[in-house]
Amino acid sequence: MTFLDQEYREIITKAVCGKGRKFTQATNPVSPSHRPTSILGCWVINHLYNANKKSEDTVEVNGSYDVNIWYSYNDNTKTEVVTERVTYCDYIPLSVKDDHCISDDYDVVAKVIQQPNCLECNIATKGHKINVEVEREFLVQVIGETKVYVRVNPKGVKIDDDDDDWDFQLTDDELTDVNPDFLSDKAKD
């Protein structure tokens, strides 16, 4: 293949063919065993997830986490911790797509930018459930095979790129900008 009288080669390599990012806020209802009087604390732990390419434009992230809520009941005379497993499915649109991928065999990499985190936890208006507002954010990359074109030297002529030929000596103009009292000024501080 020639391009403007130059020789080029096609190299097939893996590269990022798509990227996407999504921020999600969700409210999860939790049912404690007693009617809550007040919320004393809320933690989101044990986050697990995996990602798969769902279509040309979308990556699906399936995951789960545990919501732990410490609450009081019986007019603030007793406390208890309720734990509930929450599952989710986020569809992340690919905002960057390379249409030059040459196979349908993709790897999907998902990175958590914001782990699931409790924003707010309050008692529902009917009084028996607890609503937990959780945020999370993902960045996904789709990796596939693509072609890269590189210029080659078909005649085998050695290109002289020896670093010893570079001139790294200081010129007189560069030396005039040097402050001779630099070290003594720093010592005064």
What are the residue boundaries of the structural domains of the chain, listed by start?
2-150
Residue 163, φ and ψ in degrees, nearest 5: -65, -20
Average pLDDT over residues 59-74: 96
Q: Is the pLDDT confidence value at 147 over 70? A: yes
Average pLDDT over residues 9-24: 91
Smallest CA-to-CA distance from 69 within 78, 79, 82, 85 is with: 82
pLDDT category, 170, cuts 50, 70, 90? low
- 77-115 confidence digits (pLDDT tens): 999 999 999 999 999 999 888 877 887 788 999 999 999
Q: Assign 184 to helix, strand or coil.
A: helix
Least confident of 63-67, 123-127, 152-156: 152-156
Residue 172, H or E segment: helix 172-176
- 109-139 confidence digits (pLDDT tens): 999 999 999 999 999 987 789 999 999 999 9
Tokens of 143: 């990796």
Q: Is the pLDDT confidence value at 2 over 50? A: no
Burial-class residue 167 by CB neighbours within 10 Å (0-12, 13-18, 19+): exposed
Integer CA distances (angstroms), 51 to 24, 109, 140, in order: 16, 7, 8
pLDDT category, 69, cuts 50, 70, 90? very high
Q: Name the percent of the chain lying above pLDDT 70.
A: 81
Question: Residue 105's pLDDT is what?
Answer: 81
The residue among 181 and 42 whose pLDDT is bigger is 42
The residue among 75 and 176 whose pLDDT is bigger is 75
pLDDT category, 48, cuts 50, 70, 90? very high
pTM, to two decimals: 0.71
**Mean of pLDDT over the chain:** 85
Q: Assign 181 to helix, strand or coil.
A: coil
Integer CA distances (angstroms), 106 to 57, 84, 94, 113, 148, in order: 13, 34, 14, 22, 17
